[in-house]
Chains A and B, each alone.
Chain A
Amino acid sequence: MFYREAGQFKTTYRDDMAVFPILQDRIGLLVIISLAIFAIPLLGSKFFISSVMIPFLVFTLAAMGLNILTGYTGLISLGTGAFMGVGAFACYKLTTYFPNVNIIVWILASGLFSAAVGVMFGIPSLRVKGFYLAVATLAAQFFLQWCFVRIPWLFNYNVSGAIEVPERTLLGLAITGPRATPEVRYLVLLGIVALMTWVASNILHGRIGRKWMAVRDMDIAAELMGIKMLPTKLLSFAVSSYYCGVAGACMMFLWYGGGEANDVFDINASFNVLFMVIIGGLGSLIGSFFGAAFISSLPTTLKFGLPAMGIPITGATAEHMTFIVTGSLIIFFLIVEPHGLARLWQIAKEKLRLWPFPY
């Protein structure tokens, strides 16, 4: 009824190729962005912001990164957790060596290091693909995790072996360290996520994104059409790892505020991000948001939501229940819609266009 595109004429090619061609979509996007900027920091409780919104945004970044690799280029990676770890350590080293440079610069720069590492571990993708590649990227996961523990230079020879996040400020406000408020950290993170989503959208809608999709759909055909495998696949690894690295740096500096990287960036983190990508929808940016929102909020929802609904649940049972519910939901969603939440969203929009008429 209200979601109609009747009367919206496209008179230029530019209009025709717009990412959001429908006026209502653009309005909706603005509403969501303004809600995220104003409503959530003002109205949301500290708990909601720090344990729902911040994890959601961090995992969105990581899921976007993996989606570029798995969803758009068709290369499965199980090393996401480790690439995030590289970003966190790079950011830590950079900010301890150059404390005067703004931390946001270092968060964005730390992704470059994980991009370099990602390219190195992406080389096998030129020889193998599918599950063979997935297992090959596990090498990155285990090797890098080993490095995080065995190379004390990475964590500045701390006795605890953990990253200690120093306090850094922006315009006089603490954005990292113990004195940073959840609201400030949230807004900084929101800015980074918005910027990187915009960049990703532009890359994916452009020449590079189309090359990646050609490789995903059939790499031999793409090669015959003149797309070079080496730069295309490695670029995908680089961009993907860049996103994961930034996500890792954000995770350490804006969410956890320090901790032992070996536990945070373990193989379960890799699997979690892969869940997000698959549940959200392979090859869909908005799917990364959906998947991250779903998977990252699931444990919190189960832990605090079930007792609130009057279902008594203790710590250990809650953990077991999380496993059972997560497992069942993954299978359920895959059976209902193998193309993920993004496809459900698309179907809902199609239906809404016609509603209340059947066709």
Chain B
Amino acid sequence: MDFLIQTVWEGLVAGVLYALIALGFVLIFKASGVFNFAQGIMVVFSALTLVGTYEKLSQLGFKGFPAAMLSLVVALAVMFVLAVLVERVVLRPLVNQPDIILFMATFGLTYLLIGVGETIFGGNPKIMITKELGLPTGSTELVLPGLGPDGRNGLVLLQHIDIAAAIIASIMIAGLATFFQYTRIGRALRAVADSHKAALSVGISLNQIWVVVWFTAGIVALVTGIMWGARSDVSFGLSTVALKALPVLILGGFTSIPGAIVGGLIIGIGEKLGELYLAPMLLGSTMGRGVESWFAFFIALAFVMFRPQGLFGDKIIERI
């Protein structure tokens, strides 16, 4: 029983991270209709910038919390510059092109970011500066009386960084919701999401909105990168894990922020349970290994068969 709880907890934590990546996708998709494939690499790139800047600073003898904060500012600045560049160089000339062309352009962006990132920071995995950023490390063992095997006390291991990740993610999502709901730019963002043409006609600057939205996605990417980097390390391998955010998207719906969160949690838990319980039961312990790589997609597929627009997605209305 304690193993089950541990599994669910691990799934939940992974789910929060999937949800964060999916959130980045959703933000950009809502505001510009671009399926931003580069979100995964943006996570890696922002985290690398953070760690890389800190390394440079510590070589100059500037260490600890202030240096980490300075690196954070630098990383945010880099994400802002990236947002501006993407809007200027990629999105503006491609306005009004079919979705798939814009999708391909973000592919190009992915390659570009991988190349630039590896050239500047090198291809080796880096260790996230968790302690320097003031994030908690270590873990707590939770004793669950009577839930272990044979009626003994069960143990559940909670990493502090995971708890921090969950809290920070909730704060960020709340912040984003407030930003979308109550600020002037947030309202403009929602208008753009509804209809580009209508938004343009009432005087909302699409270009400005796109910069804001890509920058927001960059911030989300940075936070995701920090959390994920703290769990393993910062390397380009992370960007393939980011593909896991895609089933979250079809499960939750491409245009729904709550969908991204709920979808992330469902996928995270479902995947861990599938890997540790369902697959060994159905396929045996040797065959059933590694189902994690596709199980999430099948959960999403099963949902899609019944709700093509995802759990919370807008109803798809088509006109001729």
Are A and B subunits of one complex? yes
Write the residues of chain A forming the contact surface with B, with a CB cutoff of 8 angstroms.
70, 76, 124, 127-128, 130-132, 134-136, 138-139, 142-143, 145-146, 149-150, 218, 220-221, 224, 267, 271, 274-275, 278, 282, 316-317, 319-331, 334-335, 338
Chain B residue at minimum C-beta to C-beta distance from A131? B35
A327 touches B305 (CB 8 A): no
Find residues 93-138 in chain B having any chain A CB closer than 8 Å to their own CB. 93-94, 97-101, 103-105, 107-116, 118-119, 123
Label chain A's interface by main secondary structure.
Answer: helix
Q: What is the count of residue pairs linking A and B with beta-carbon distances less than 8 angstroms?
A: 133
Chain A residue at minimum C-beta to C-beta distance from B123? A316
The segment from B56-64, B157-165, B286-294 that touches chain A is: B286-294
Docked Cα-Cα span, A142 to B254, in Å, equals 21
Docked Cα-Cα span, A335 to B89, in Å, equals 9
CB < 8 Å neighbour of A271 from B98, B107, B293: B107
Nearest Cβ on chain B to A187's Cβ, whole angstroms:
34
B249: CB under 8 A from chain A?
Answer: yes
Chain A residue at minimum C-beta to C-beta distance from B29? A131
Chain B residue at minimum C-beta to C-beta distance from A322? B115
Cross-chain pairs A/B with CB under 8 angstroms, 13 sampled: A124-B305, A128-B304, A131-B254, A138-B247, A146-B291, A146-B294, A317-B119, A324-B115, A324-B119, A327-B114, A330-B104, A335-B94, A338-B101
B119 touches A320 (CB 8 A): yes
Chain A residue at minimum C-beta to C-beta distance from B240? A267
B112 touches A324 (CB 8 A): yes
CB < 8 Å neighbour of A323 from B103, B104, B118: B118
CB < 8 Å neighbour of B297 from A128, A138, A325, A331: A138
B90: CB under 8 A from chain A?
Answer: yes
B243 touches A146 (CB 8 A): no
Chain B residues with Cβ below 8 Å from A146 are 290-291, 293-294
Docked Cα-Cα span, A323 to B114, in Å, equals 7
Chain B residues with Cβ below 8 Å from A143 are 294, 297-298
Beyond A135-B246, A138-B247, A328-B112, 9 additional contacts (C-beta under 8 Å) are A130-B99, A132-B250, A132-B310, A135-B297, A139-B294, A150-B289, A267-B240, A275-B107, A321-B115
B304 touches A127 (CB 8 A): yes
Chain A residues with Cβ below 8 Å from B100 are 70, 76, 278, 282
B42: CB under 8 A from chain A?
Answer: no
Chain B residue at minimum C-beta to C-beta distance from A328? B112
Nearest Cβ on chain A to B41's Cβ, whole angstroms:
10
**A131-B35, A327-B109 are contacts. A334–B290 as well, Cβ < 8 Å?**
no
A150 touches B290 (CB 8 A): yes
A335 touches B93 (CB 8 A): yes
Write the residues of chain B forming the contact surface with A, with a CB cutoff of 8 angstroms.
35, 89-90, 93-94, 97-101, 103-105, 107-116, 118-119, 123, 240, 243, 246-247, 249-250, 254, 287, 289-291, 293-294, 297-298, 300-301, 304-305, 308, 310, 318, 320
B294 touches A136 (CB 8 A): no
Label chain B's interface by main secondary structure.
Answer: helix
**A327-B108, A331-B90 are contacts. A224–B290 as well, Cβ < 8 Å?**
no
Nearest Cβ on chain A to B69's Cβ, whole angstroms:
30
**A130-B99, A334-B104, A334-B108 are contacts. A138–B320 as well, Cβ < 8 Å?**
no
Nearest Cβ on chain A to B290's Cβ, whole angstroms:
6
Docked Cα-Cα span, A132 to B253, in Å, equals 9
**A138-B246, A139-B294, A338-B94 are contacts. A131–B103 as well, Cβ < 8 Å?**
yes
CB < 8 Å neighbour of B111 from A130, A220, A330: A330
Chain B residues with Cβ below 8 Å from A127 are 304-305, 308
**A150-B287, A282-B100 are contacts. A138–B305 as well, Cβ < 8 Å?**
no
A326 touches B304 (CB 8 A): no
Chain A residue at minimum C-beta to C-beta distance from B35? A131
B108 touches A328 (CB 8 A): yes
A331 touches B109 (CB 8 A): yes
Docked Cα-Cα span, A271 to B110, in Å, equals 12
Chain A residue at minimum C-beta to C-beta distance from B298? A139
Which has the most chain B C-beta neighbours within 10 Å: A143, A267, A334?
A334
Chain B residue at minimum C-beta to C-beta distance from A332? B108
Chain A residues with Cβ below 8 Å from B109 are 327, 331
Chain A residues with Cβ below 8 Å from B243 are 138, 267
A331 touches B112 (CB 8 A): yes
A124 touches B301 (CB 8 A): yes
Docked Cα-Cα span, A76 to B98, in Å, equals 13
Chain A residues with Cβ below 8 Å from B293 are 142, 145-146
Closest 9 CB pairs of A and B: A323-B115, A327-B111, A327-B112, A330-B108, A324-B115, A139-B297, A142-B294, A331-B108, A143-B294
Docked Cα-Cα span, A326 to B320, in Å, equals 38
CB < 8 Å neighbour of B118 from A124, A136, A320: A320
A139 touches B301 (CB 8 A): yes
Docked Cα-Cα span, A130 to B318, in Å, equals 13
